[in-house]
Structure 1
Amino acid sequence: MKNQLAGLMKQAQAMQRNMEKVQDELGKTIVEGQSGAGMVSVLMSCKFYVSRVSIDPSLMSDDKEMLEDLITAAVNDAVRKAEATTQEKMAGLSAGFAMPPGFKMPF
């Protein structure tokens, strides 16, 4: 059991290092959210940092409320894409983490 626990600790340390690497990658991964058939676009990192908002010039003469709605929709689209990308990258981290036979978590 002691060897299994030592092996489990090594796996946990490797998983921690991998998680830090993935977190760093997510900060550099950019997704694009769009609305209005691409008339409004938002670039956002998977850490939810918005780096750019682009608005088609033809929308500048339209009503303010519609433009606000399109910006909101584009940001929400970017958030969904960032969450999906994050979930995809994080799912691979726990795939190789095997618990010893009979090991039960305390909860």
Structure 2
Amino acid sequence: MIRKAFKMKLYPGKEAEYKRRHDQLWPEMEQMIHDYGGHEYSIFLDPETLTLFAVLEIEDEARWAASAETEICQKWWASMVELMETHPDNSPVSIDLVPVFYLK
């Protein structure tokens, strides 16, 4: 498995709605994440900066990258535009983080 971590940014006042939508994650979105090799996916919020910190395990970089082209992923991204910083294609502004320490 490949461990990935990245950060994203919420808009002010959108914390509760972001959590609600993830608490009610669409079954098709959950299935797509697994189908494209995503596992152990967690997202944490720093409420002072509204920075989201995500970490997940993937099976393969290319396979995971291909998930962005799925219809369900595109639909999910479109539904999140009002809550967080996004690119013109609705994908979240996401900054990969560099691993510096891991203790198993």
Q: Normalising TM by the smaller chain, what interval? A: under 0.3
- Asked which structure has the greater CA Rg, the reply is 1
Question: Could you state the TM-score of these two structures normalised by the residue count of structure 2?
Answer: 0.28
Bigger fraction of residues in strand: 2
Which structure would you say has the larger RCO, counting Cα contacts within 8 Å and 6 or more residues apart? 2
